[in-house]
Amino acid sequence: MDLDLIRTVLVYALPVLFAITVHEAAHGYAARHFGDPTAAELGRISLNPLRHIDPLGTIAMPVLLYLATAGAFVFGYAKPVPVDWRRLRHPKRDMVWVAFAGPGANLAQALVWALFGAVLLAFGSEEPFFGLMAKAGVLVNLVMFAFNLLPVPPLDGGRILVGLLPLELARPVARVEPYGFFIVVGLLVAGLVSAWWMLPILRTLLALMGAVLPSFSSVMGVS
């Protein structure tokens, strides 16, 4: 196996596991908070990655796409935490918060990884592996934040949109969900998600984090 691929897998493994696990657990915690214990009853409110990993979507698909496209295109997914919106105390309103909890957890993790990188720099760490891991942690979580907020059901952004729209507009958007996966894949392949959604959001978030954390540019390896 290519040594660069092995190094990339090792650098990204922990950030990806944390990003997926905390994202899904956050949905479950939020659902329980707002009255739906479905995820808790099924044991899905957990920080155990094995409860959230989908063998095909989390492991096989990203690795195969990475190899097939030389790292140019990677896509994957975890097992979604089950949420029964009918059990929420205020279903339409509460679903917005339940849906945002996952991306919100990713944004928080990006900040934690950035701080971890800043601490490494402050202590003069000369081990590049952990610096690369901190950078990977920031990027992985910001990408997950931006991607999951894409306003297409069943992504979190789509469910947030359904919760925010008036009922007469929310119903047709919600009906898109069975076809949402294919719509998202089509948009990804066409490059529209990257150009018109991901990159503008990522640039904005990176600029904001750079303004908040003086050493952020050094953490990200940007001169």
Domain boundaries, the chain: 3-219
Rounded average pLDDT over 107-111: 97
pLDDT of residue 223: 46
Supply the pLDDT for residue 101.
97
- The C-alpha atoms of residue 158 and residue 156 are separated, in whole angstroms, by 5
Cβ-proximal residues to 76 (8 Å cutoff; 6+ apart), any chain: 57, 58, 59, 61, 62, 65
Range 109-130 average pLDDT: 92
- Per cent of the chain over pLDDT 70 is 91
Q: Which of 80-84, 97-101, 159-163 comes out lowest in average pLDDT?
A: 80-84
* Cα separation, 67 vs 72, whole angstroms: 9
pLDDT at 71: 56
Per-residue pLDDT reduced to its tens digit, 55-91: 777 777 676 766 665 555 566 678 889 999 999 999 9
Of the residues 24, 41, 126, 168, only one is catalytic, namely 24
Do the beta carbons of residue 23 and residue 103 sit within 8 Å?
A: yes
- How many CA atoms, within 13 angstroms, populate the side-chain half-sphere of residue 136? 19
Global pTM reads 0.91
Q: What is the mean pLDDT of the chain?
A: 88
Q: How far is CA 77 from the centre of its chain?
A: 9
43: number of CA atoms within 13 Å, CB side?
A: 4
* DSSP character at residue 83: -
Q: What is the pLDDT of residue 72?
A: 53
- Asked if 24 is an active-site residue, the reply is yes
**Side-chain half-sphere CA neighbours of 2 within 13 A:** 9
CB 134 within 8 Å of CB 123? no
Q: What is the mean pLDDT of residues 147-157?
A: 94
- Helix H segments across 34-90? 38-41, 61-68
